[in-house]
Amino acid sequence: MFDVGFSELVLVAIVALLVVGPERLPKVARVAGMWLGRARRTLGAVKQEIDREMKASELADILKQQALSQSVESIIEISTQTAAAPATITSATTASTDSTPAVPASSPTDSTTLRD
C-alpha cells in the first residue's frame, strides 16, 4: 500500500528524535508500536468479517438459485405429468368404447335374415 524505504524510515527516526528527545523516544516508540499492532489486528478482523459476509452472501445466492431451479424442475415435472394424464384418460375412454363389439345390422345370425 505504502512504499516506504529505508531512507524514509531513517528520516522519520531522526525527526522523532529531534522532536520528542532521547529520553522519551523509547516510550513514544513503544506506544506507537502498540497502536500500530492494534490497527493491524483491527484491520485483520475487518478483513475477516468482510470475507465471511461475502461467503455468506455467495452461499445465499447459491441457495436461491437451487431453490429456483428446484421449483422450475417441479413445474416441469408437474406439467409433464399433466400432459401425460390426458393421454391416459383419452386412451381409457377409447378402450371402453372399443370394448363393446359392433354388430352390423345385416348379420347372418340375425333371425330376420334367416326367415327370408
State the cell numbers at 27. Answer: 516510550
Residue 39 is predicted with a pLDDT of 97
Give Cα 113 to chain centroid, integer Å.
79
What's the CA gap between 71 and 105, in Å, rounded? Answer: 57
Q: What is the per-residue pLDDT for 116?
A: 47
Give residue for cell 372399443.
98
pLDDT at 70: 78
Residues 82-93: what's their mean pLDDT?
58
Per-residue model confidence as pLDDT tens digits over 30-65: 999 999 999 999 999 999 999 999 999 999 999 888
pLDDT at 99: 52
Residue 105 to residues 24, 72, 101, 109, 113, Cα–Cα distance (Å): 127, 56, 13, 10, 10
Neighbour-count burial of 89, counting CB atoms closer than 10 A to its CB (0-12 exposed, 13-18 middle, 19+ buried): exposed
CA distance 99 to 1: 88
pLDDT at 85 over 70: no
Q: Is the pTM of this model over 0.75?
A: no
pLDDT at 76 over 90: no
Mean pLDDT of 3-20: 88
Residue 58 C-alpha cell reads as 455467495
Predicted local distance difference test score (pLDDT) of residue 87 = 52
Calculate the average pLDDT of the chain. Answer: 78
DSSP run (H or E) holding 98: helix 25-98
